[in-house]
Amino acid sequence: MAIDPNITPRRKKKERSMVIPALIVLFLFLFVSFSYYAFQIVYTPNVDTKKRDTFVTIPTGATYEQAMDSIEASEVIIDKLSLRFMAKLMDYDELVKPGRYKLEHGWGNRQLIGVLRIGQQTPVNLTFANVRLRTQLATKLATEIEASEQELDSLLSDEAYLATLGFDTATIVSMFIPNTYEVYWTTTAPELMARMKKEYDKFWTAERKAKAEQLGLSQKEVSTLASIVQAETIKNDEKPRVAGVYLNRLQKGMRLEADPTVVFAVRDFTIRRVLNVHLQHDSPYNTYKYAGLPPGPINVPDISSIDAVLNPEEHKYIYFCAKEDFSGYHSFAVTHSEHIANARRYQQALTARNIMK
């Protein structure tokens, strides 16, 4: 039987005509699938912070793996594998930057890695209210920025360094004006000190300096007296009157005899009732034993306290003590006999409440 030589070529041609469309369809399928997956990796929301604000901190010197572990530990990344793929694609492994970053709800991988690789940090709102001791200040600041408590305390305790700023270990807390400051988490201890000095200089306007000079006080002395006023009353409307009492005493050459300075000298901040044994404690901060202002502030005074000293109420009061109604306000007196009567009522109220310490 003879074989038709045209059968094989035609069949092959037909088979080729069938394969090419199939390959095109397969290619288009793969292309669409890859494009869709690529789109998902790049743009699909991969951060879910709907329930809570989430921040990631990446320490100075952190490796790529440490940075990625920190991000994943936030537990708001939906697809960790796609995030790592995008991170490698954007060379984040070579561009890790330290900082504190807020992860925004709905961010895609590209947006997240883009923020991290350029170091676009979220500022920290730095505050330091209710601080008494220099060491407490270091502890408070260290909770807000990357600098350690030891690094901060080292500067706050360095007399030679503090002298370059115009302070010493007793007065340095007055350089910190309580306010809310935006700083970056990566701010170093020296950078923070320089920033606080800048803010201090900005706070002490020509007007405030002039008022201090009229009172015969330096800026540091104003802060020291303000810290006593702040420790005496939590009532802002009463602070100018309390400040007036202490200024009257200073002008008359009397000892301040401020109970909060004794508490600070003893370093027992649980004391509610200052006793004779406390008054005998020998310390330059004990204003019952030593005339004039103590060496430095007994806390970090806030702006209302500083301005109360700079704008004191003019009166003739020399004495004051807490009111027996425990309202937080005080009874003021011009004469010692009036003061003794006020003090007796308060002491009786303390005894009635069994407050012996």
Q: What is the pLDDT of residues 126-180, one digit of tens each?
A: 998 889 999 999 999 999 999 999 999 999 999 999 999 999 999 999 999 999 9
- As separate numbers, helices (DSSP H) first and strands (DSSP E) second, the chain gives 15, 6
**Structural domain contains residue 13:** no
Looking at residue 273, what is its pLDDT?
Answer: 80
Looking at residue 51, what is its pLDDT?
Answer: 84
Same domain for 211 and 199, yes or no, is no
Exposure string over 200-221, b if 16+ CB within 10 A, otherwise e = beeebeeebeebbeebebebbb
Looking at residue 350, what is its pLDDT?
Answer: 86
| Domain extent for 284 | 206-352
Same domain for 218 and 330, yes or no, is yes
Q: Which of residues 159, 183, 203 is at a domain's end? A: 203
Q: Which of residues 117, 140, 171 is at a domain's end? A: 117
Same domain for 327 and 265, yes or no, is yes
**Structural domain contains residue 253:** yes
Looking at residue 50, what is its pLDDT?
Answer: 87
If one counts the domains in the chain, the total is 3
Same domain for 219 and 326, yes or no, is yes
Torsion of the alpha carbons at 331, 337, 341 and 347, rounded to the nearest 10: 90
Same domain for 216 and 327, yes or no, is yes
Same domain for 279 and 216, yes or no, is yes
**Structural domain contains residue 17:** no
Same domain for 184 and 242, yes or no, is no
Query: Quick check: 140 and 147 in contact, CB under 8 A?
Result: no
Looking at residue 11, what is its pLDDT?
Answer: 61
Same domain for 192 and 213, yes or no, is no
**Structural domain contains residue 112:** yes
Provide the angle, in degrees to the nearest 10, between the axes of the packed helices 109-117 and 7-43: 60
**Structural domain contains residue 3:** no
Residue 203, both tokens: 């706070």
pLDDT digits (tens, 9 = 90+) for 215-236: 999 999 999 999 999 999 999 9
Looking at residue 255, what is its pLDDT?
Answer: 97
Same domain for 236 and 196, yes or no, is no
Closest CA relative to residue 113, chosen from 188, 196, 37, 42: 42
Looking at residue 198, what is its pLDDT?
Answer: 98
Looking at residue 33, what is its pLDDT?
Answer: 43
Closest CA relative to residue 177, chosen from 226, 238, 118: 226
| Low-confidence stretches of the chain (pLDDT beneath 50) | 25-26, 28-36
